[in-house]
A and B are shown apart, each in its own frame.
Chain A
Amino acid sequence: MQSLRILIVDDSPAMRAYVRRTVQLASLPVKNVFEAGNGQEALEIVNQENEAPNKLDLVFADLNMPVMNGEEFVAKLRGNQRDATLPVLIISTDATQRRVLKLRELGAQGYISKPCQPEMIRLKVHQILGEQ
């Protein structure tokens, strides 16, 4: 797997730190980590970084956030032709079946319910990026 440029979107700095650490524990080859506190900030980072030669590879996003929540973020991302294929992995406490189906319809590539272990994140990332 190539070195990854990832974006972590969560309104909780503690949770962003946890995801960052968990990604490291999962032994994923991460090159750059960007962080955003809500969907709006995340769209700005996606817009900025996808202008660069090395685009983002994957977004980890929470659902329940102020300003712009995770569902709105995924919907807006999918509405932009240039960013429509950027993979989004949702990490959230809300694991009800209807929520997961709704996210799939919106275009999220994967879903992990909290609590989550590093191995689950590693498996999902490999699954989403198409490498085992």
Chain B
Amino acid sequence: MTEPMPTSDTAFSDAPADSNDLMLSDVVGAARDVLNVMFFSDVLEDADAPPAPRPETMQVYVKFEGDGVGEFRMEIDDPTAESLAGSFLGAEPGSAPSPDEVQQVMGELGNMVCGAFLSRYEKDGLFSLSSPTIERAGAAMPSGVARSLQLLDGTMDLRINWSVPVDRPGLPG
């Protein structure tokens, strides 16, 4: 018998609901800041994300460790990635960035959103981030929180899974 697929709002077994809400709020806020300032884009709305990656998406992974240990994942479709990369690189209208440039920029975007999220979520923490890796057809995360963002340019899904959560004494649980 197979395990049920995790849903978008699946809570960590050891993280209180308030912590998950805070995490979702912080990751959406981090993405909004990065997209506004460096990609000239915006988050129009956010909603529950699908439990598994959408087909045909680029998946950017960043692992982090330090005061907590976990993984961040950003999933984005090719047209959205190309549009955002063009904005970041200041591409002239009508000229598209190369596939290599799109991958580099999406890696950087994943790195920035993950770093900005950690700086918001755990202001006094100390973390180190892995270099971003990019895959296609990745598996669903075993647990964690996820949010789907509707951007000016398309759709982006963000997922976070802490294997060793930060101890947050200020929250219930």
Which B residue's beta carbon lies closest to that of A12?
A: B108
Knowing A14-B101, A93-B115, the reply to whether A98 touches B38 (Cβ < 8 A) is no
Asked if A21 meets B90 with Cβ closer than 8 Å, knowing A15-B108, A98-B124, the reply is yes
Given that A114-B38, A115-B116 are known contacts, is A94 also in contact with B129, CB under 8 Å in the complex?
A: yes
Given contacts A11-B131, A18-B89, A96-B118, contact A115 B38 (CB under 8 A): yes
Any A CB within 8 A of the CB of B80: no
Contacts of B34 in A (CB 8 A): 114-115
Chain B: interface secondary structure? helix
Residues of A contacting B108 in the complex (Cβ-Cβ under 8 angstroms): 12, 14-15, 18
Contact A96 B122 (CB under 8 A): yes
Query: Is B123 a contact partner of A97 (Cβ separation < 8 A)?
Result: yes
Residues of B contacting A15 in the complex (Cβ-Cβ under 8 angstroms) = 108
CB distance from A99 to the nearest CB of B (A): 6
Question: Residue A50 at the B interface, CB < 8 A?
Answer: no
User: In the assembled complex, how far is the CB of residue B117 from the closest CB belonging to chain A, in whole angstroms?
Assistant: 9
Interface residue? B36 (CB, 8 A) = yes
**C-alpha gap A66/B126 in the complex (Å):** 18
| A95 close to chain B: CB less than 8 A | yes
Q: Is B12 an interface residue (CB 8 A)?
A: no
Q: How many residues of A contact B (CB 8 A)?
A: 24
Determine how close the nearest CB of chain A comes to the CB of B111; give it in whole angstroms. 6
Known: A17-B89, A93-B112. A115 touches B36 (CB 8 A): yes
Q: Are A64 and B105 in contact (CB under 8 A)?
A: no
By CB atoms of chain B within 10 A, which of A11, A94, A116 has the most? A94
Interface 0/1 of B87-123, CB less than 8 Å to A: 0111000000000010011011001101110110011
In the bound complex, residues from chain B placing their C-beta under 8 Å from that of A117 are 37
- Does B128 count as interface, using CB distance less than 8 angstroms? yes
Q: Give the residues from 77 to 127 in chain A that come closer than 8 angstroms, CB to CB, to chain B.
A: 92-99, 102, 113-117
A113 to B37 CA separation, bound complex (whole angstroms) = 12
A96, B89: Cβ atoms under 8 Å? no
Contact partners of B38 in chain A: CB under 8 A: 18, 114-116
| Neighbouring B residues of A113 by C-beta, 8 Å | 116, 119
> A13 in the interface, Cβ–Cβ < 8 Å?
yes
User: In whole Å, how far is A24's beta carbon from the nearest beta carbon of chain B?
Assistant: 10
CA distance in complex: A64, B112 (Å): 11
Q: A98-B125, A114-B38 are in contact. Are A93 and B131 (CB under 8 A)?
A: no
CB distance from B153 to the nearest CB of A (A): 16
Q: Which residues of B contact A12 (CB under 8 A)?
A: 104, 107-108, 111
Binding site for B on A (CB under 8 A): 11-15, 17-18, 21, 64, 66, 92-99, 102, 113-117
